[in-house]
């Protein structure tokens, strides 16, 4: 049962895991979300701690333990009191090291080999005051995937920030204003929508047939992205690469597709 603070008393309230959260608790899908944030100033741990106490840990998932039910063994979220200092990790590193960029990549790679302590909420943040080629310091979030997916985590982090012009105002994302269309424009949109639905149905049928055929006798096409047998057991290495957002837009527009919609949504 989770714990909610009400005055001086603690009221226990249980909440079962969602199907996705239960999936990510299995041995085959024990996944973590790694988020890297570069900053143009050196981190002040006291400021980070105060910010987390006023924002992040107020979210139920970041202040809950995952505990098995005593009756049936089913995993449930349990609210608990969070000590932010237990989740902030500041390693002792040499700020004048020779190859800081490679050090950051190696540090993140080593994080994938360790597990979060399940006796506390399943997240932590590592503060590295090491100057790289693009930042004065680097923060690394490690969050268990059962807490949420990438989009929900991005939305939560965005909600924890404030405008530089108004420290009490939430940031806003610019949106395109839709122009009012005429009746002819509505008819064209209706026809386009019907054609889109027909394409989806046709592509779905083709995909189902290809899936059945691949399961029965076909084999996956060999591509440079296809790993060799046992690749899932090899150590992972995170490589940082700066990509121009204009290039992403160019690829999206050239392909005339919406596959890059999630990325272009923030452009």
Q: Which of 258, 234, 26 is nearest to 113 (CA)?
A: 234
Q: What is the DSSP string of 60-104?
A: GGGGEEEEE-TTT--EEEEE----GGGTEE-----TT-S-HHHHH
* 3-state secondary structure (DSSP) of residue 56: helix
Pairing mode, if any, of strands 2-6 and 9-16? antiparallel
Catalytic residue among 59, 144, 145, 240: 145
Angle at the Cα of 165 from the Cα atoms of 162 and 169, rounded to 5 degrees = 40
User: Any catalytic annotation for residue 145?
Assistant: yes
CA dihedral of 142, 145, 147, 150, whole degrees rounded to 10: 80
Strand blocks (E) in 95-245: 123-128, 137-144
| Torsion sign across C-alpha atoms 40, 46, 49, 50 | negative
Question: What's the CA gap between 73 and 67, in Å, rounded?
Answer: 9
Give the residue numbers marked as catalytic: 145
């Amino acid at each position: 049962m989770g714990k909610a603070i009400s005055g001086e008393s603690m009221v226990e309230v249980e909440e079962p895991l969602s199907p996705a959260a239960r999936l990510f608790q299995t041995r085959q899908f024990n996944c973590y979300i790694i988020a890297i944030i570069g900053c143009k100033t050196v981190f002040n741990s006291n400021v980070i701690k105060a910010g987390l106490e006023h924002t992040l840990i107020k979210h139920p998932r970041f202040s809950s333990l995952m505990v098995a039910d005593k009756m049936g063994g089913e995993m449930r979220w349990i609210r608990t009191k969070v000590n932010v200092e237990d989740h902030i990790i500041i390693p002792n590193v040499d700020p004048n090291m020779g190859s800081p960029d490679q050090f950051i990549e190696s540090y993140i790679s080593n994080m994938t080999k360790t597990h979060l302590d399940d006796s506390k909420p399943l997240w932590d943040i590592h503060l590295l005051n090491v100057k790289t080629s693009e930042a004065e310091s680097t923060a690394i979030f490690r969050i268990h995937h059962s807490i949420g997916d990438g989009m929900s985590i991005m939305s939560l982090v965005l909600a924890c920030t404030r405008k530089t012009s108004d420290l009490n105002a939430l940031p806003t994302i610019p949106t395109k204003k839709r122009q009012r269309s005429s009746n002819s424009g509505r008819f064209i949109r209706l026809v386009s929508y019907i054609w889109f639905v027909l394409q989806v149905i046709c592509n779905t049928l083709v995909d189902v047939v290809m899936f059945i055929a691949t399961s029965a006798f076909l084999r996956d096409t060999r591509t440079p992205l296809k790993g060799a047998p046992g690749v899932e057991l090899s150590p992972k290495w995170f490589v940082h690469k700066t990509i121009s957002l204009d290039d992403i837009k160019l690829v999206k527009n050239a392909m005339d597709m919406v596959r890059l919609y999630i990325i272009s949504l923030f452009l």
